[in-house]
Amino acid sequence: MTDRRAGIPASPGIAVGPAHLVERRPLAVAPRPLAAGAAAVEAEVERLRGAIARGREQIERARDRVRGAGHPAELVRMMEAHLQLLEDDALERAAERAVREERVNAEWAVRRVAESIRAALEASGDEFFRERRGDVLFAAERILRNLAGLQPDPADDLPAGAVVVAHELSPVDMSHLVHAAVAAVVTETGSRTSHTAILARALGLPAVVGVPDLVGCVDERTLVAVDGARGEVVVAPPPAEVSLFRERARRLAELQRTLREEGERPAETRDGRRIALLANIEFPDEVDAALRGGAEGIGLYRTEFLYVGRPRPPSEEEQLRAYEKVVSRMAPRPVVLRTFDLGGDKFASRPQLAGEPNPALGLRALRLGLHERDLFRIQLRAMLRAAAAGDVGVMFPMVCGVGDFRDALDVVGEAREGLRRDGLACPGDVPIGCMIEVPSAVVVADLLARHAAFFSIGTNDLVQYALAIDRGSERVAQFYQPFHPAVLRLVRQAVRAGREAGLPVSMCGAMAEDPLAVPLLVGLEIDRISVSPASVSLAKAVVRSIRFDDARRLAGEALEAGTAEEVGRIFRDYARQTYPDLAREPLD
Ligand code: PEP
Ligand code: MG
């Protein structure tokens, strides 16, 4: 029977294929006392050591295959973080001690030790340690599977054309995706920023995450249709729907061919309004995709991904290398480096382990930076130093008002002063901008404009906080409405405040990736748009199809509309008349 699910859109693309289930539930483990005598203990310790050593070899092999194939540097880094856990002998020593002192089986010792490490990490106030909890559990499962003589990598041997369905995938599982020609990935856990989502995007693989209780409802080889941009999963679709999905996939492929040519051209409306189209990136390696798409700069570099999933924060030098790579590769085009937006959804790869009761409202982004001032200062030093390599702006995420913005500027001043003392060069005029993504920042945007060099509107969070809708929750996804008139009015207010102060105002939220929203944003007088590398050429093509005077008139109507549905209708009608081939969805 057909089963329709909505999940979190993690990586765009459309696919239909037979399900391939990757079983990743923890193995059941029970305590078993060892036989009397020293020999039984020694034999058990040998079993344990052998299983751990095999685990190390398995990960090393998987990592070398990925590295040899030149695949995402990020994946190699995640696998190394994973490997480190088995190389670092804390787990091995603790498990061995449990076997010897308690005379229990290796399985029980591993499970217990992993649990206590996980609990200690969980309780740690340090976000970097907290993020490693999942890695510990993956490492323990690998050892347990080796002890049981089971295939340690359930994702080995993925059939070509399959839709991979899993509770969750480890970085090693993901490395198998690199080699297999699978069609799409769907997981029960995860967020837009979990490992699976990040890597699926890097691999260009359609993915939907956060689809609860799916694994038990799908049989191996059942047909599954996936739309990664909409977060749609249909299990056992009727034949008519399969044809519809295939038709959409075909249209998408055709569109991508047209767009490759569009990327080369400037984004200018038919009546001559020039819009700058930039790209949002998460890893330095994405710069090439941004340039291929025709990006005129990087409007948002989400630097927090340098920090996620590793035992210690990156050093100043490591950060400098990453930023310089982006800046020099893009030069002379501009690059906006955003200071880390850690916390919130950026750690919640396993929501049940989230460290704060309400992480979206917790110690995150700029407030985490001001709380962990040393960490923040190190990042700012690296950013200021990288500015010597090209055209760099720095901005802060989740600014709430003038107070926190000014505090952040003080830390920039400290970073500058420190660099001067250390005899390290940095340009004196790096523009420092403010993200507008919290409603309070919109309300005081005129005041912020006195201190900031530019504004960048982040609708992903602005929608979340304005409408009180969790941006990562599939249960309220239908209420997450970027076209809500309240959101439009907030955007207009921010644009006006910036304009009146003579500030450049850009938009870097995913709203700008929706072809229907482009004329709305242009009509609201945004003239710098930053989207994911894959969406740059589409946004350019839309801009080239529309007229600025139409966009302004329609934006005026939208600001008077009562609901998101009415706004949607206005722009759907316009798209139907003006650029029917560029819409991602059927327009009738
Ligand atoms: C936003 O909130 O719109 C934004 C661009 O930032 P992020 O998605 O990284 O929170
Ligand atoms: Mg944000």
Ligand 1 centroid to 410 CA: how many Å? 24
DSSP state of 471: T
Ligand 1 centroid to 33 CA: how many Å? 52
User: What is the distance between the alpha carbons of residues 128 and 505, in angstroms, rounded to a whole number?
Assistant: 33
Minimum-distance ligand 1 atom for the alpha carbon of 397: 6
CA atoms within 13 A on the CB side of 566: 14
Q: Supply the residue whose CA is at minimum distance from atom 3 of ligand 1.
A: 458
CA atoms within 13 A on the CB side of 482: 21
- Kindly report the three-state secondary structure assignment for every residue of 216-275: HHCCCCCEEEEECCCCEEEECCCHHHHHHHHHHHHHHHHHHHHHHHHCCCCCECCCCCEC
* Pocket-forming residues, ligand 1, beta carbon under 6 Å: 300, 302, 341, 437, 458-461, 508-509
* Residues forming beta bridges with residue 522, ordered by sequence position: none
Question: How many residues comprise the chain?
Answer: 588
Ligand 2 centroid to 458 CA: how many Å? 6
Q: Supply the residue whose CA is at minimum distance from atom 6 of ligand 1.
A: 458
User: What is the distance between the alpha carbons of residues 188 and 209, in angstroms, rounded to a whole number?
Assistant: 6
User: What is the distance between the alpha carbons of residues 102 and 372, in angstroms, rounded to a whole number?
Assistant: 41
pLDDT tens digit at each of 588 positions of the chain: 899 999 988 888 899 999 999 877 778 888 899 988 889 999 999 999 999 999 989 888 888 877 766 566 667 777 777 777 777 777 888 899 999 999 999 999 999 888 888 887 777 655 555 556 677 888 888 899 999 988 887 777 788 899 999 988 877 888 787 778 899 999 998 876 667 887 787 777 999 999 989 999 999 999 999 999 889 999 999 999 999 999 988 888 888 788 888 778 899 999 999 999 999 998 887 898 899 889 999 999 999 888 876 667 899 999 999 999 999 999 999 999 999 998 765 553 333 334 677 888 888 899 999 999 999 999 999 999 999 999 999 999 999 999 999 999 999 999 999 999 999 988 989 999 999 999 999 999 999 999 999 999 999 999 999 999 988 776 787 888 999 999 999 999 999 999 999 999 999 998 998 899 999 999 999 999 999 888 899 999 999 999 999 999 999 999 999 999 999 999 999 999 999 888 766 566
Pair of tokens at residue 444: 């005081």
Give helix then strand counts, H and E, for the chain. 22, 16
CA distances from 534 to 79, 93, 126, 203, 492 (A): 26, 47, 34, 12, 26
Minimum-distance ligand 1 atom for the alpha carbon of 461: 2
Burial 38-56 (b: 16+ CB within 10 A, else e): eeebeebbebbeebbebbe
The H or E element spanning position 507 is: strand 505-507
State the amino acid at position 53 in one-letter form: A
Q: Supply the residue whose CA is at minimum distance from atom 8 of ligand 1.
A: 460
Percentages of the chain per state (helix, strand, coil), in multiples of 5: 55, 15, 30
Q: Supply the residue whose CA is at minimum distance from atom 7 of ligand 1.
A: 460
Quick check: is 371 catalytic? Answer: no
> Rounded to two decimals, what is the model's pTM?
0.74
Pair of tokens at residue 564: 């998101």
**Under 8 Å between Cβ of 364 and 334:** no
Quick check: is 426 catalytic? Answer: no
User: What is the distance between the alpha carbons of residues 142 and 144, in angstroms, rounded to a whole number?
Assistant: 5
Q: Residue 244: is it exposed, middle or buried by C-beta count within 10 angstroms (0-12/13-18/19+)?
A: middle
Ligand 1 centroid to 427 CA: how many Å? 27
DSSP state of 391: E
State the amino acid at position 575 in one-letter form: A
Strand, coil or helix: 334 = strand
Complete DSSP assignment for 301-317: EEGGGGTTTSSSPPPHH
Minimum-distance ligand 1 atom for the alpha carbon of 345: 10
User: What is the distance between the alpha carbons of residues 284 and 286, in angstroms, rounded to a whole number?
Assistant: 5
* Residues forming beta bridges with residue 530, ordered by sequence position: 278
- Catalytically annotated residue among 20, 82, 167, 195: 195
Taking alpha carbons only, the member of 455, 327, 339, 452 closest to residue 391 is: 327
Strand, coil or helix: 404 = helix
The H or E element spanning position 122 is: helix 106-123
Q: Supply the residue whose CA is at minimum distance from atom 4 of ligand 1.
A: 458
